[in-house]
Structures are given as structure tokens and as C-alpha cells.
Amino acid sequence: MEEQPLETTVYSLDPSPPTQPDRRGTDRYLSLLRVGAIVVANRRELCLIRNISAGGMMIRAYSNIPIGTELSIELKQGDPVKGVVKWVEDGLTGVTFDAPMDVLLLLAPPGDGPRPRLPRIEVDCNAWVRQNGDLVRIRLLNISQGGLCVEARRSLIVGADIVITLPGLTPAAGVVKWSDDEAYGLAFNRALVLSELVEWLQEQQREQRRRAEGDYSPTDPIGEAVIQRSSMRRS
């Protein structure tokens, strides 16, 4: 039996604030969202954070907050971020931050305390999955230490053992946990090392900047390996 995917807070490296949600298929997800504290007109209240990007956030507030309202949200203890409400739809509220924030810095633990596992972080890049000897090209949607959500035009088998190859990372063994049309949830057999994942995310952040500046060439982890092997044979 397929496992039902969870709807958890998504952290994005995108500089743009989250847009109105696509309501298709939302009833197929269990919700496990991060709780935040917002201050509106000197009133402090809790909210559920659905998405956070460098430019803004999407929250589910427990009171009516009109468009144009200025507010602040405490994402880390004692470190509020200011913003303004840009849209309200179906109980969700879109907030644009007054100034861009560093999402990876937000996820860093305070001081010398224990380092928690990262939540899901949105990333847009190509990768590969090896399943039963077949190589399947996938598009990465988000990643955490424990797994990733991807899109694949070729079918992946729920429960199948796989090997996941991401550009710049060592291939990792995993399993297909769930499917939803062309979307799949993949779990790593062993959680990624946090320091390696953060370094990889920082490189993806730099590539996003290069892409925005028009100086970007997407990498193909399998293609690069083939080219390297061919060069070694010629030498």
C-alpha cells in the first residue's frame, strides 16, 4: 500500500515570494506544517507556515488579516522579519518581506546547540534515478536530508529500490515511497550528511543567481560522467 505524502513547510531559495496555491490534490496530503508567531497591530498570534522563500511566505492565519497589513513574523527566537500582506485566498495569506532574507541562515541552529535536520527545501534541477537497471531522468522539486520530491515522465515503481544521482553529490541508495501522477516521493536509505547538503544547497543558490544573470549552463551528472570516462579512455 502506498504511503500518503505529507504536506510540510517548504523552504525555497527563490527570491520571489510564494504565489497563490494550486488547489489540485491538496486533500491527498496530510498536514505537518511549522508553527510561527506573527505580530499584527501589536497583537501576537500563532500561524501555520506553508512556504517560506527569500522574498516572502505563505501562511495560514487564525484571524482575518486584510491585504496591505504590515506585520512581522518570528522565524527564529528574537529575530523577527517584517513584511506586508499581498494576497488572501481560501484561508491562506501571502506575505512579501520588506527585504530579502537568507533562507539557509534561517535554518542554521543557534550557537553551539544541536543541529536539527533540514526541512524540505525547493530546488529546481535535473537528476537521475536508476531503477531495475533502467536510468530515468527526473526533475527535482524539493529535497531534505531524508529524501526528495521529484517529477518523472517515466513511471517509477512504489516500493522499488533505486539509486539517486544528484549533480555534485555521490549517488545514494533509496526507495520510492509514494506517487501522485508524475510526482514521486523518494527516500534515502541513509540520511544525507547535513554539512554536505548545506554546501550543495549553497551551490544551487549560486547557480540560481547565475541563471538569473544569464550566465548559467545546467549540469548533467550522468552526461558529465560519460564524457569523463571517454576522455580517460582516449588518454
User: DSSP of 163-181, one letter per residue?
Assistant: EEE-TTS--EEEEEEEEET
pLDDT digits (tens, 9 = 90+) for 21-30: 765 444 444 4
Given this model, what pLDDT does residue 16 score?
84
Give the span between the Cα atoms of 197 and 105, in whole angstroms.
14
DSSP for 91-157, please give it.
TEEEEEESS---HHHHHSPSTTS--PPP-EEEEEEEEEEEETTEEEEEEEEEE-SSEEEEE-SS---
Given this model, what pLDDT does residue 156 score?
96
- 158 burial via Cβ count (<10 Å: 0-12, 13-18, 19+): middle
Given this model, what pLDDT does residue 149 score?
94
The chain-wide mean pLDDT, for the chain, equals: 80
**130: three-class secondary structure by DSSP:** strand
- For the cut 90, the answer to whether the pLDDT of residue 226 exceeds it is no
CATH code, 6-107: 2.40.10
Average pLDDT over residues 154-159: 95
Beta strand 120-131 with 92-97: parallel, antiparallel or unpaired?
A: unpaired
Give the span between the Cα atoms of 156 and 160, in whole angstroms.
8
Position 23, amino acid: R
**37 contacts 46 by C-beta, under 8 angstroms:** yes
The answer to which of 15-19, 28-32, 95-99 has the lowest mean pLDDT is: 28-32
Give the span between the Cα atoms of 165 and 76, in whole angstroms.
33
What is residue 188's DSSP assignment? E
CA-CA distances (angstroms) from residue 103 to 11, 17, 205? 7, 12, 10
123-235 CATH fold: Thrombin, subunit H (2.40.10)
- For the cut 80, the answer to whether the pLDDT of residue 81 exceeds it is yes
**85 contacts 47 by C-beta, under 8 angstroms:** no
CA-CA distances (angstroms) from residue 67 to 46, 92, 93, 95? 18, 12, 9, 9
Angle at CA of residue 32, ends 116 and 178, nearest 5°: 95
Q: What does the domain layout of the chain look like in residue ranges?
A: 6-107, 123-235
pLDDT digits (tens, 9 = 90+) for 179-194: 998 999 999 999 988 7
Sequence-ordered list of residues with C-beta below 8 angstroms from that of 116, at least 6 positions apart, any chain: 109
Give the span between the Cα atoms of 24 and 133, in whole angstroms.
33
- For the cut 60, the answer to whether the pLDDT of residue 143 exceeds it is yes
Average pLDDT over residues 206-229: 59
**70: three-class secondary structure by DSSP:** strand
